[in-house]
Structure 1
């Protein structure tokens, strides 16, 4: 009896479980009518855009970030990518965002951030929240407010850093924030499509209609299983503890390896891992020539050279909204073992030594 259609907003047992998760792990109070279950986070992000953004509306997001430019395209929004800086761990600041908020409908944020694995500090997010409140206070009653979409899908995968969210920091933003979350990353279960969004009931209701009409439900059997699993807090915490230890070991090894290469004079750098399954790497070899005489014209060329020569695949930040001449890359440790990382570091060194 768990193979038929689920309710459009998700089975009640799972929404009750999510409500309890939010209370216990985030000190957030959302009822079951303010929670929507879907087949992972992507339908929730899409339905947030469709529910809030009209064609021609302005959407502000940091670059690098995951797929916001594509969701702008799908909704005919005007996307404003705000390029972030390595000195801020590629997290956006209020000073960078504020000039673009006038007239915007949506500010898309994520922490821990895909692709960087970095996180907001309390002060950073507080300043952004205050900028949103200030912008909304300046608008007339007939103007749309500025909303925040806050993607925290990696929030249970942090390494000694505290996760912050807009509503806890500024409760008066509650009516203007839609959260994106789920199990795919924290439980290493990307093929188990269970995500949840939560926010104001009026917006969640519209999102429910959208996901229902496109058939983006999470499979009912998976919802039943997740509801039961998360009720066993010791089991969940035990898994998370072990998983985070192994992810942290892999990220730290890769980070240390690149910092050692930097100390040896290679034109590389890395940002200390904070959360998620990603490490931000700088490989500043655009313009160099391969042993075969090929010029590496951009970050994609550098990436394909490393694939061919070192059997290492990264993702250039150009895939996340930045220009191709930016020498920064995302490394994901989600699909490889710790030993894989140990073994690949000498291959990366040899590949870089071969460039002229």
Structure 2
């Protein structure tokens, strides 16, 4: 009944397929079907106890009221000190905006900077909300293909050809969702060389920068000469500290832009929950053992799932360098990736995502999250092999 009432921009707003598949999988479970969940990008670990205790203490100490829109000063200071250490970029509290999750930084940055008709280059396959928000504000999404033959890193020469006088922003994501690819230092240096002096902002999504393997060391483009003021870093607590439900993220940016992003916070969320912010200080400054142990376990699972996928006839899978996703190639089956994903859910009880959930260049691939137990991963691999055998007949 509301079709004629909705603003036109609502028809440009997309969604996250992961949550749609999760809902479908839950419906099947309600019917009694056993489902193994490899679709949702959420650590299956509990939030570390010291962080929970810090939140409880904060609640009991009266952190139940409004805070300044960009966050409590002591929280912003802790984030600035952490970012200075972790990313090799000197930040101050005035350059930090705290938000309820990392997504608002993505949304607010695009909303604040992109006018109708402005072009935004974004990774494809990539996090689907990038394209969704670009379209929502009237910008022109310009996909940069992320290809397996380039180890799921963007091609810098191809990027150079996509930049035009209308380019307002370039979005990069390293380590990446959905591929697990990580840009090399040389990649990042070349991207910086392309944008210097062009009035182009780089939105660098670094939410997975602590979840890396095999000695990988992600490089923040903000750390390169002349790039700090032209970079917005998106980061948060959901992945590293298994705090998805807490909704705590932040952006690092020039203080003048931070003030504008804070305006958007005032007009939308008012502020991020006070006690959650205090828990964030404990996450950054307290023991890191649980976070390190989680990454070590993810590496063990990664090795198991990659080996298992490569043993299934018709599937090949590169070993990701970061995040907790694999992006196996299923082109040999000659069917759309969404059809294969639907088939695996219905036939095998394994919830995965088709690659096109992350953009047109994801066709021919599936995304599997290995944020699940080794037992369930092995069970899923066995079910997938049995089910996919039917597609090859």
Equivalence map 1:273-292=2 (5 Å): 273-287=320-334
SS in 1 for 2:244: coil
Equivalent residues of 1:270, 1:280 under 8 A apart: yes
Equivalence map 1:155-234=2 (5 Å): 155-159=209-213, 160-168=215-223, 170-215=224-269, 217-232=271-286
Q: Identify the residue that residue 37 of structure 2 maps to in structure 1.
A: none
Q: Identify the residue that residue 21 of structure 1 maps to in structure 2.
A: 82
In structure 2, C-alpha distance between the alignment counterparts of 1:354 and 1:317, rounded to whole Å: 21
In structure 1, C-alpha distance between the alignment counterparts of 2:104 and 2:310, rounded to whole Å: 38
In structure 1, C-alpha distance between the alignment counterparts of 2:109 and 2:328, rounded to whole Å: 31
Deviations 1:293-344 (A, max 9, x none): xxx5x211110111112221211221111157x211211122x211101111
Gaps of 5+ in 2: 1-61
Equivalent residues of 1:182, 1:196 under 8 A apart: yes
Equivalent residues of 1:64, 1:90 under 8 A apart: no
Deviations 1:41-67 (A, max 9, x none): 111110100111111111011211112
Q: Identify the residue that residue 124 of structure 1 maps to in structure 2.
A: 187
In structure 2, C-alpha distance between the alignment counterparts of 1:167 and 1:199, rounded to whole Å: 9
SS in 2 for 1:150: strand
Deviations 1:133-166 (A, max 9, x none): 2x61xxxxxxxx1110000000011112111111
Gaps of 5+ in 1: 137-144, 288-295
SS in 2 for 1:268: coil
Aligned with residue 48 of structure 1, among 86, 90, 109: 109
Aligned with residue 267 of structure 1, among 304, 314, 329: 314
Q: CA deviation at 1:286?
A: 4.5
Q: Does 2:359 align with 1:321? A: yes
Q: Identify the residue that residue 290 of structure 1 maps to in structure 2.
A: none
Aligned with residue 385 of structure 2, among 344, 349, 356: 349
Q: CA deviation at 1:216?
A: 6.0
Deviations 1:71-130 (A, max 9, x none): 111211011112221111222121111111122000011110111111001111111111
In structure 2, C-alpha distance between the alignment counterparts of 1:152 and 1:229, rounded to whole Å: 17
Q: Higher relative CO (CA 8 A, sep ≥ 6), structure 1 or 2?
A: 2
Aligned with residue 87 of structure 1, among 127, 149, 155: 149
Q: Identify the residue that residue 35 of structure 1 maps to in structure 2.
A: 96
Question: Residues 25 and 14 of structure 1: is their aligned pair in 2 closer, same or farther, counting only changes over 3 Å?
Answer: same
Question: Residues 316 and 4 of structure 1: is their aligned pair in 2 closer, same or farther, counting only changes over 3 Å?
Answer: same
SS in 1 for 2:203: strand
Q: CA deviation at 1:21?
A: 0.5
Q: Identify the residue that residue 140 of structure 1 maps to in structure 2.
A: none
SS in 1 for 2:245: coil
Aligned with residue 349 of structure 2, among 304, 311, 319: 311
Equivalent residues of 1:62, 1:91 under 8 A apart: no
Runs of 4+ aligned residues of structure 1 deviating over 2 Å after TM superposition are 284-287
Q: Does 2:315 align with 1:253? A: no
Equivalent residues of 1:83, 1:322 under 8 A apart: no
Equivalent residues of 1:98, 1:131 under 8 A apart: yes
Aligned length: 328
SS in 2 for 1:84: strand
In structure 1, C-alpha distance between the alignment counterparts of 2:226 and 2:310, rounded to whole Å: 43
- State the superposition RMSD in angstroms: 1.4
Equivalence map 1:237-248=2 (5 Å): 238-248=289-299
Equivalent residues of 2:174, 2:182 under 8 A apart: yes
Deviations 1:197-246 (A, max 9, x none): 011111111111012211163211100111133222xx12x112210111
Equivalent residues of 1:286, 1:299 under 8 A apart: no
SS in 2 for 1:197: strand
TM-score norm. by structure 2 comes to 0.81
TM-score norm. by structure 1 comes to 0.89
